[in-house]
Amino acid sequence: MRPRNENVNPTGASTAWLRLYAQMDGRIKIYVAPNCKESANRVELSSGTRLADMHETTDLMHGVAYEEGARLPREPWRRPTEEEHESLIAAEVPRDMASSVAIVKLPGEFSDDLRQAIRSRNAESYEANLLQPLRTICELGEPLHCLGLNQQPGNLKTATINRDIGRYIGLHVDTWDRRNLESLHLATNRLCVNVGQNERYFLFLPISLRAIASALSKEMGPAWEMPRRYTVIARHFMERFPDMPVIRCRLAPGESYVAPTENLVHDGSSAGQSGTDEQFTLRGHIRPL
């Protein structure tokens, strides 16, 4: 797959990106637990990625300006082809969470009373109403870090903000564990529960950062110097291969994603939400049961 002009409409180009995907190690598979809410649009693909435009990096009035260099999914979104579905979707519970994204659901009904208990920000309430139910569907391996409840505006294309500069990052890689590239597969992963009243999304490139760095190094040649910041490596790859689609997984209230966000180009999204986007996040060596 050769680099293409970013303005080219990639509709019908699924075969091209799948060829690159098939050649790479670190391919990410998606597992959706059987008890998750059925949705016609559970998994969608973007038309590639793009650079945040001038309006998106200068519009501070609405509090959603992006940092320079941020990259976003390129619309329109579409359903996967049969070939893409077969390549991306795993039928069995994943054992290797370094190359898997899992969508799981809290047991029972996710009621308003349960939502209010989680919003209380009380440790005992978290344990009884969230952590104990999660332990029935996931192994919450140590060290387990509770990042807790986060609330932010709805209808955001991407949700993560660089609080040092007050600007949104766009598609990025987490660096909580501060591991080197060769050991990213050993890093902790993230479980994020949608505790709001609306559906939200998890966005990601379907290839691990380790594989991205390897492919980019081969593409750029021996004179190319690997950036130290992992998100910059990801941006170089997206610039070089703008037709690589972003995968968008829909999460209903009470559903969670489990993903290796230290080794994955990703973000959350509340696109289309009219209310507040609310999530509860854990980090650890987490896998679905």
The contacts of residue 122 (CB under 8 Å, 6+ apart) are none
User: What is the domain extent for residue 279?
Assistant: 31-252+259-283
Q: Is the pLDDT of residue 8 over 70?
A: no
Is 164 in contact with 285 (CB distance < 8 Å)?
no
More confident residue, 179 or 2: 179
**Gyration radius (Cα) of the chain, Å:** 18
More confident residue, 264 or 7: 264
Mean pLDDT for the chain?
91
Domain membership of residue 219 (yes or no) is: yes
Structural domain count, the chain:
1
Nearest partner of 278 among 150, 116, 168, judged by Cα: 150
- Average pLDDT of the segment spanning 70-74: 98
At 145-182, the pLDDT tens digits run 999 999 999 999 999 999 888 899 999 999 999 999 99
Which phi and psi (to 5°) does residue 166 adopt? 70, 30
Distance from C-alpha of 270 to C-alpha of 244, rounded to nearest angstrom: 22
pLDDT at position 16, please?
Answer: 85
Looking at residue 165, the DSSP 8-state letter turns out to be T
Domain membership of residue 271 (yes or no) is: yes
127: Cα within 13 Å, side-chain hemisphere: 3
6: Cα within 13 Å, side-chain hemisphere: 14
The contacts of residue 199 (CB under 8 Å, 6+ apart) are 250, 251, 252, 253, 272, 273
Domain membership of residue 143 (yes or no) is: yes
Count the Cβ atoms, other than its own, within 10 Å of residue 82: 8
pLDDT at position 23, please?
Answer: 87
Is 76 in contact with 10 (CB distance < 8 Å)?
no
- Average pLDDT of the segment spanning 69-89: 95
Nearest partner of 266 among 84, 115, 114, 46, judged by Cα: 46
Domain membership of residue 199 (yes or no) is: yes
pLDDT at position 55, please?
Answer: 86
Domain membership of residue 24 (yes or no) is: no
Distance from C-alpha of 46 to C-alpha of 40, rounded to nearest angstrom: 16
Domain membership of residue 20 (yes or no) is: no
Name beta bridge partners: 223: none
DSSP code per residue over 206-229: EEEHHHHHHHHHHHH-TTPPPPSS
Domain membership of residue 17 (yes or no) is: no
SS3 for 83?
helix
Q: Is the pLDDT of residue 20 over 90?
A: no
The distance of Cα 176 from the centroid of its chain, to the nearest Å, equals 15
Which phi and psi (to 5°) does residue 200 adopt? -135, 180
Angle CA 123–129–130, to nearest 5: 80
Q: Is the pLDDT of residue 7 over 60?
A: no
At 100-118, the pLDDT tens digits run 999 999 999 999 999 999 9
| Peptide linkage before 143 cis (omega within 30 of 0) | yes
- Total count of residues recorded for the chain: 289
Highest mean pLDDT among 32-46, 115-129, 153-167, 244-258: 244-258
Domain membership of residue 50 (yes or no) is: yes
